[in-house]
């Protein structure tokens, strides 16, 4: 059985298969219309979402299946203090696959440890958002025709933006991808991604402070919203909230074929005047999200009993109750889960659930 908690839970080949299947679904929609008849998807959304939840729902409906779940944790037993693990043990009796969004990092991983059905991470805190990554990979493929060899600029909140973290991880498996990080100092990409993903996988990256200085080099400009809800310090949020705004004047410096992506919702980081530019791909990206989720749900259910499609071996981990994860938003600091860690090549200790540093 396969879960999708982190983009690298899928092999590169499985990822490419899902992107190809999504393209086949786009071309032959009627062929897939009843393919998941009598199957059920449970959407467990403990955090607000519009497009991700609706896109999962629409995807399952287009495959002929049904959807149940909640979009507000207050209306579920969670408000009575039920743990994620227990909720999953209950819901798996009612559904064939679960999509979970949670503000605590590592919550979908905890779910996958106990579940007998596939779990899909629909976003956990600032950590990961692998189905947005599949959406982004499909969008880049459809807009540019290829992923290998692209230069991509990530702009905005690279610290808290989980879509950025997951996409960089996935891109590290393609050939000759160059990454340019455009962010104020306060919102720079976390060190663990720079070290574990970029340095180790040999992704070529550099950090700059303005869109203008690099826009002419880019094949993809990936804009993001400053994630107000994840700031612990509101003064810091006020300082950086208007850091980067894309407008038509800046677009004049871009390549004729550059694609502008944004996971949405946007606040003010892309002026509405850019929407009519043919290079603005963010609303096409939303539609791609539905097709790629159709391909994902279809594949996870097809692979369920296939020994060829199992979860990858995770890095060797150890249990130590005297060590604490330093991330206050990690599930291990809120629910009674086993304290599991891994040692990195440099000797640092990282939490299994959220990848953050841990110590005594």
Alpha-carbon distances of 256 from 132, 152, 283, 298, rounded to whole Å: 25, 15, 19, 36
Q: What size, in residues, is the chain? A: 360
- Judge if the upstream peptide bond of residue 265 is cis by omega within 30 degrees of 0: yes
Closest distance to ligand NCD from the beta carbon of 52 (Å)? 4
| 67 vs 349, beta carbon nearer ligand NCD | 67
| 18 vs 128, beta carbon nearer ligand NCD | 128
| 330 vs 340, beta carbon nearer ligand NCD | 330
Residues 287-346 that bind ligand NCD (CB under 6 A): none
- Other C-beta atoms closer than 10 Å to the C-beta of 311 total 12
| 51 vs 309, beta carbon nearer ligand NCD | 51
Among 15, 87, 163, 166, binds ligand NCD (CB under 6 A): 163
| 49 vs 141, beta carbon nearer ligand NCD | 49
Closest distance to ligand NCD from the beta carbon of 266 (Å)? 8
d(CA 170, CA 307): 23
Residues 111-130 that bind ligand NCD (CB under 6 A): 123, 129
Q: Is 104 in the site for ligand NCD (CB under 6 A)?
A: no
Q: Is 169 in the site for ligand NCD (CB under 6 A)?
A: no
Closest distance to ligand NCD from the beta carbon of 264 (Å)? 5
The β-bridge partners of 171 are: none
| End-to-end Cα separation, the chain, in angstroms | 35
| 65 vs 103, beta carbon nearer ligand NCD | 103
Residue (of 130, 153, 150, 127) closest to 140 by Cα position: 150
Closest distance to ligand NCD from the beta carbon of 123 (Å)? 5
Alpha-carbon distances of 39 from 47, 237, 288, 294, 296, rounded to whole Å: 25, 43, 22, 13, 14
Q: Is 132 in the site for ligand NCD (CB under 6 A)?
A: yes
Number of residues this chain uses to bind ligand NCD (CB under 6 A): 11
Residue (of 342, 352, 333, 340) closest to 103 by Cα position: 333
Residues 257-276 that bind ligand NCD (CB under 6 A): 263-264
Dihedral sign (CA 205, 231, 123, 342): positive
Lookup: tokens for 18: 């899902």
Closest distance to ligand NCD from the beta carbon of 284 (Å)? 14
d(CA 325, CA 227): 22
| 55 vs 83, beta carbon nearer ligand NCD | 55
Q: Which residue has the tokens 């980067």?
A: 244
Closest distance to ligand NCD from the beta carbon of 187 (Å)? 13
| 124 vs 219, beta carbon nearer ligand NCD | 124
Closest distance to ligand NCD from the beta carbon of 103 (Å)? 11
d(CA 55, CA 59): 6
d(CA 105, CA 295): 25
Beta-sheet pairing, 318-319 with 340-343: antiparallel
Closest distance to ligand NCD from the beta carbon of 329 (Å)? 14
Instruction: Beginning with the edge strand found earlier in the chain, give each strand of the sheet holding 340-343 in spatial order.
Output: 318-319, 340-343, 349-351
Among 8, 52, 71, 133, binds ligand NCD (CB under 6 A): 52
Q: Is 225 in the site for ligand NCD (CB under 6 A)?
A: yes
Among 39, 51, 173, 309, binds ligand NCD (CB under 6 A): 51
Q: Is 241 in the site for ligand NCD (CB under 6 A)?
A: no
Lookup: tokens for 246: 């894309």
Residues that bind ligand NCD (CB under 6 A): 51-52, 123, 129, 132, 162-163, 225, 227, 263-264
């Amino acid at each position: 059985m396969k879960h999708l908690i982190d983009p690298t839970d899928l092999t590169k080949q499985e990822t490419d298969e899902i992107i190809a299947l999504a393209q086949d679904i786009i071309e032959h929609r009627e062929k897939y219309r009843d393919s998941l008849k009598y199957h059920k998807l449970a959407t467990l959304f403990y955090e607000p979402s519009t497009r991700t939840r609706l896109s999962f729902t629409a995807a399952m409906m287009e495959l002929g299946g049904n959807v149940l779940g909640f979009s507000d944790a207050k209306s579920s037993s969670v408000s009575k203090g039920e743990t994620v693990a227990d909720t999953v043990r209950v819901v798996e009796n009612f559904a064939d696959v679960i999509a979970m969004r949670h503000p605590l990092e590592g919550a979908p991983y905890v779910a996958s440890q106990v579940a007998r059905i596939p779990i899909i991470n629909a976003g956990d805190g600032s950590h990961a958002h692998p189905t947005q990554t599949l959406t982004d990979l499909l969008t880049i493929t459809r807009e540019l025709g290829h992923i290998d060899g692209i230069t991509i600029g990530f702009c905005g909140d690279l610290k808290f933006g989980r879509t950025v973290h997951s996409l960089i991880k996935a891109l590290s498996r393609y050939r000759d991808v160059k990454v340019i990080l455009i962010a104020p100092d306060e919102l720079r990409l976390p060190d663990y991604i720079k070290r574990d993903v970029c340095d180790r996988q040999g992704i070529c990256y550099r950090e700059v402070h303005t869109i203008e200085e690099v826009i002419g080099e880019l094949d993809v400009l990936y804009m993001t919203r400053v994630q107000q809800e994840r700031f612990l310090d509101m003064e810091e949020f006020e300082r950086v909230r208007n850091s980067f705004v894309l407008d038509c004047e800046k677009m004049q410096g871009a390549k004729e074929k550059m694609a502008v992506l944004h996971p949405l919702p946007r606040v003010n980081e892309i002026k509405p005047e850019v929407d009519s530019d043919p290079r603005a791909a963010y609303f096409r990206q939303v539609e791609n999200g539905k097709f790629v989720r159709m391909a994902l749900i279809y594949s996870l259910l097809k692979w369920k009993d296939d020994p060829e499609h199992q979860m990858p071996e995770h890095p060797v981990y150890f249990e130590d109750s005297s060590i604490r994860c330093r991330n206050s938003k990690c599930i291990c600091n809120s629910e009674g889960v086993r304290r599991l860690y891994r040692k990195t090549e440099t000797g640092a200790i990282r939490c299994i659930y959220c990848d953050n540093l841990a110590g005594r």
